[in-house]
Amino acid sequence: MISSFFPVFAGRTSDPQAQSRNLYQVQMGKNGIQRVQEQLATGRRILTPSEEPTTSIRILQLQREQEFRTQALTNLNSATTYLNATESTLSTIQGIVNEMRGLTVGASTNLLSESEREGLLSEITASLNRLVSTANTKYQDRYLMAGSSLDQQPISSLGRSVRFVGDDKDLLTISDDGQYLPHNIAGQRALGLMSTSVVSNVDLAPAATAETLLSDLNGGNGVSPGAIRFSDGVEQVTIDLSQASNLNDVLQLINGNVTLSGREVTAAIQSNGTLRIEYSDGLQGTIRISDVGAGRAATDLGIATDVPAPLLPIESPSLDPILKLNTRLSQLNDGAGFDSSEGFRITQGDKTYTIVIGTAQTIEDVFNAVRRTGAAITADITPDGRNIRFRSTESGINVSIGENGGQLASRLGIRTLTPSTRLDQLNHGRGVAKTDGAELSIRRANGSQFSVDLTGSVTLQDVLNRINENVANQDASLKITATLNSHGNGITLSSVLPPPGTPDPQPVAIFVVRGAEAAWDLGLVPPGQDSVVGTSIPTGSRIVGQDPNPQEVKGVFNSLLRFREAVERGDLGQIARAAELFDEDLDRLTASRASLGVSLQQIDDLNRNHEDRNNDLTQSESRLFDADIAATIADLNGRQIAYEASLKLLAGTNRLNLFDFI
């Protein structure tokens, strides 16, 4: 530019042009001085992004990262305060549990007088109230033990039981790039507020439908995006499935778009949820299906062929979709569905809830039907999407899931007492006490009895077989049949009507042999009794046993309530069991506090990393953004000298006369 040559003028430049150039030079000098003065005033080398676009972009990136790390530090500091409050709460709870564990030792080794029992019960009740109050600790804006249910008091005492209304979810905070850190210890994990999951033990085998998402197939592993190729050996057509979202998209991309040698190829979802590929005319021919390049779409859909001339139609295996809340009941059992009119029962304490799902359409409808009963049960789908599960949230009472006259609970895999239940799992893990020889004796309608020896029995089915297949129980006219209860849980012993003319016919009865406890442990005879006599029914008589496999919430409240119940009854065995439960609670609390300590240490490390990184970012930003004061002052001085020279030159140019050209 011509301004680069100032203040040198061409020999034949006109006076007005020279004056204009001098004036421009003065103005540029003035602007330069003003810019340097602004740099000194603000301390910034770059005043507007347009001055140095590349450097400005880098500065903005550094500032964004600084803002992120500053917010991460705020998050971590907040997490620290909540975790410290949680640590204090857990420490108090652990102290209460330790006190109660100490009381069980004395109570299990001494016969308590009435006054001692009353004093102990009073102390247990006071500890229970303290425990409830501590577990309901609220710090700032949320309850510490409620999981993600921040605004609802999680624990409520119902007298004989304690109910939990929170959940077991972690609250996550952004701690670093792509990293999340829980800033709570869920009450369920630390205190044991929900029962061990009753998880469906059968494959519900949902069938895929056109609306099934591709990401839900293959057990949740999904379908890799890619293209698939159709060929009949002469022509080939490639279909891109990379944008397909569900199976209906796959069908639409194939149907009407694949024609081989004049024959249209069609795709359809069958009633069992499998994918079917064939020619639209239904006749035989050749259809080869393969993945394109490194794709796996055809393989993941189960329609890739590996022979030159596959038989038609081509049918995929089960696409194995995971369970979702909107999975229809008619999709289960490979599309055959279940008879939902039967329902099932949930027994919780002394209350029984009948779940009738005749109008339910989806899995979510089933869960809603459970919630509407008012049962303290959390029903959901397991995190892997493979099963449904039910968990009790009420401590201090038993819970079980049984039938309601049908087989729905068994078909859904949620019945808590099944033929495959192991005997050593019964009675809260205490099992079934077995002795050498016969443990029980059963009376038939004609008054005769046969003995049952349970030696070698491992499962409940073994017990049923020992009764049903007993060599002394093969007379059809006097047959005693052992089955699981048709309503609820337990074992039913049924006797047919005696043959006509049987003198003094009697209902079925069961007797304890030699004081053996097996009949008690199997729920056939109430503990402490020697026998039970059946009741008459139109087809004969029967004994309906109690559920020997109740479930419970294993946690601090359950342990304390079981301890109180054992003291009230003077049951030394149950007091000893309460001591074992307290040991499990202490282990759980110790592990939770250790986990909390690890989290706090991790937060300290992250804090240091963020602070160090922030210092580095600040220095990098300063090098790019901040002005060098000494250099800027020197620049200002130079510009002022140049500005003064420009003013003198301008003044001299304006005073030119004829003598300057002679």
Q: Residues 397-414: pLDDT tens digits?
A: 999 999 999 899 999 999
In a domain, residue 55? The reply is: no
Contacts of 371 (CB under 8 A, 6+ apart): 377, 379
For residue 524, what are the CA distances in angstroms to 199, 290, 418, 480, 493? Answer: 27, 61, 16, 14, 9
List own/partner pairs for 631-637 with CB under 8 A and 24 or more apart: 632/36, 632/39, 632/40, 632/45, 633/40, 635/36, 636/33, 636/36, 636/37, 636/40
Same domain (yes/no): 292, 396: no
What is the spatial order of strands in the sheet that 155-157 belongs to?
155-157, 162-164, 394-395
In a domain, residue 230? The reply is: yes
pLDDT for 656 equals 55
- Asked if 279 contacts 230 with a C-beta cutoff of 8 angstroms, the reply is no
- Six-digit token string for 650: 């301008």
In a domain, residue 153? The reply is: no
Token pair 């972690």 is found at: 170
Dist CA 167 CA 183 (whole Å):
15
Please tell me the total count of domains within the chain.
Answer: 5
In a domain, residue 186? The reply is: no
State the amino acid at position 304 in one-letter form: A
pLDDT for 112 equals 76
| CA dihedral sign of residues 645, 646, 651, 654 | positive
Burial 213-235 (b: 16+ CB within 10 A, else e): bbebbbeeeebbebbbbbbbeee
Tell which of 315, 349, 372 closes a domain: 315
Burial 580-613 (b: 16+ CB within 10 A, else e): ebbeebbebbeebbeebeebeeebeebbeebeee
Same domain (yes/no): 439, 522: yes
50's enclosing H/E stretch is none
SS (HEC) of 277-336: EEECCCCCCCCEEEECCCCCHHHHCCCCCCCCCCCCCEECCCCCCCCCCCCEHHHCCCCC
Q: What share of the chain is helix, strand, coil (3-state, %, to 5)?
A: 40, 20, 40
- In this predicted model, what pLDDT tens digit does every residue of 177-229 receive, in sequence order? 888 888 888 889 999 999 988 999 888 999 999 999 999 999 999 999 999 99
pLDDT for 662 equals 53
Q: What is the pTM of this model?
A: 0.82
For residue 586, what are the CA distances in angstroms to 1, 97, 563? Answer: 84, 7, 15
**Is the preceding omega at residue 7 within 30 degrees of 0, hence cis?**
yes
Share of the chain above pLDDT 90, in %: 62
Same domain (yes/no): 536, 600: no
Token pair 């959901």 is found at: 380
Dist CA 89 CA 92 (whole Å):
5
Provide the domain limits for residue 581. Answer: 62-144+557-612
In a domain, residue 453? The reply is: yes
Same domain (yes/no): 299, 249: yes
Tell which of 506, 523, 544 closes a domain: 544
Same domain (yes/no): 348, 368: yes
**Positions of the chain with pLDDT lower than 50, given as ranges:** 1-6, 9-10
Burial 401-433 (b: 16+ CB within 10 A, else e): bbbbebebbbbbbbbbbbeebebebbbbeeebe
CA triple 419-470-473, angle to 5 deg: 115
Neighbours of 67 (CB within 10 A): 10
Residue count of the chain:
662
List own/partner pairs for 263-267 with CB under 8 A and 24 or more apart: 263/232, 265/230, 265/237
In a domain, residue 281? The reply is: yes
DSSP secondary structure code for residue 15 in this structure: H
SS (HEC) of 458-513: CEHHHHHHHHHCCHHHCCHHHCEEEEECCEECCEEEEEECCCCCCCCCCCCEEEEC
Same domain (yes/no): 430, 537: yes
Residue 229 sits at φ, ψ, to 5 deg, of -120, 130
Same domain (yes/no): 444, 490: yes
Tell which of 416, 443, 470 closes a domain: 416
Same domain (yes/no): 361, 403: yes
In a domain, residue 466? The reply is: yes
For residue 263, what are the CA distances in angstroms to 232, 306, 430, 578? Answer: 10, 21, 68, 74
Same domain (yes/no): 473, 518: yes
Same domain (yes/no): 229, 273: yes
- Asked if 205 contacts 333 with a C-beta cutoff of 8 angstroms, the reply is yes
Farthest-apart Cα atoms in the chain, separation: 161
Same domain (yes/no): 504, 576: no
In a domain, residue 620? The reply is: no
- Asked if 200 contacts 101 with a C-beta cutoff of 8 angstroms, the reply is no
pLDDT for 644 equals 72
Q: What is the CATH number of the domain that holds 70?
A: 1.20.1330.10
Contacts of 406 (CB under 8 A, 6+ apart): 339, 341, 342, 343
542's enclosing H/E stretch is strand 540-544
- Asked if 156 contacts 177 with a C-beta cutoff of 8 angstroms, the reply is no
pLDDT for 661 equals 52
Same domain (yes/no): 632, 606: no
Dist CA 399 CA 552 (whole Å):
6
- Six-digit token string for 409: 């609970």
